[in-house]
Structure 1
Amino acid sequence: MGAPAQVTWAKAAKDGSEIVAIGGVRKWFLGKSQWQLTTSEAVALMELDEWRFFVEIDDEKAWIDVCEDADGAKTISPDGPVRYLL
């Protein structure tokens, strides 16, 4: 199971149709570290089960999933938990 990482910000494309980058804080036993990734990097880490990303909404973790568009490209949906950060 991948290491959890909280997403605290997201950047959308100019037309708002897709997420192009995410970033946040990863807490671990040595403290916290800030990070930022492109959507393709984040998708690759989720598919390799290295990291799991979440958005905290009302003190609850909402996990981010990989979705596939009509063309077969994998991405993070702007309609998922990330929408609370846009």
Structure 2
Amino acid sequence: MTWVKTAPDGAEIVAIGGIRKSFFGKSQWRLSMEDAIALIEQDEWRFFVEIDEEKAWLDICEDADGGKTISADGPLKILL
């Protein structure tokens, strides 16, 4: 199971997380937007959410001021 946490207005993703299964059991993980952006930029990880068996990849978006956020391949409304 994975999840995304959005800002109160639903306009941006502020954290992502999930449950990791391993030989020793299950553990929860959570990344801030900043940590997830760093891992994506370093080509370490790639994230997606799945709704109704369709994957929406999470990508980095940069605004005119250079601020970075994470967004899906389409309207964020599909994630809510």
What TM-score do the two structures reach when normalised by structure 1?
Answer: 0.66
Whether the 8 Å contact between 1:18 and 1:78 is mirrored in structure 2 is: no
Given that 2:59 and 2:73 are in contact with CA atoms closer than 8 Å, whether structure 1 keeps it comes out as no
Post-superposition offset of 1:47: 0.5
Q: How many residues align?
A: 80
What SS does structure 2 have at the residue aligned with 1:20? strand
- TM-score normalized by structure 2? 0.70
Which among 32, 43, 48 is matched to residue 49 of structure 1? Answer: 43
Q: Are 1:73 and 2:67 an aligned pair?
A: yes
Q: Is 1:39 matched with 2:33?
A: yes
Gaps of 5+ in 2: none
Partner of 1:16: 10
Could you tell me which runs of 5 or more consecutive residues in structure 1 were left unpaired when the two chains were aligned.
1-6
Deviates more, 1:18-27 or 1:46-55: 18-27
Q: What is the DSSP-based 3-state SS (H/G/I as helix, E as strand, rest coil) of the residue aligned with 1:44?
A: helix
**Distance across 2 between alignment mates of 1:81 and 1:25:** 25
Greater mean deviation of Cα atoms: 57-66 or 30-39? 30-39
What is the RMSD of the two structures over their aligned residues, measured on CA atoms? 2.9
Secondary structure in structure 2 of the residue aligned to 1:72: coil
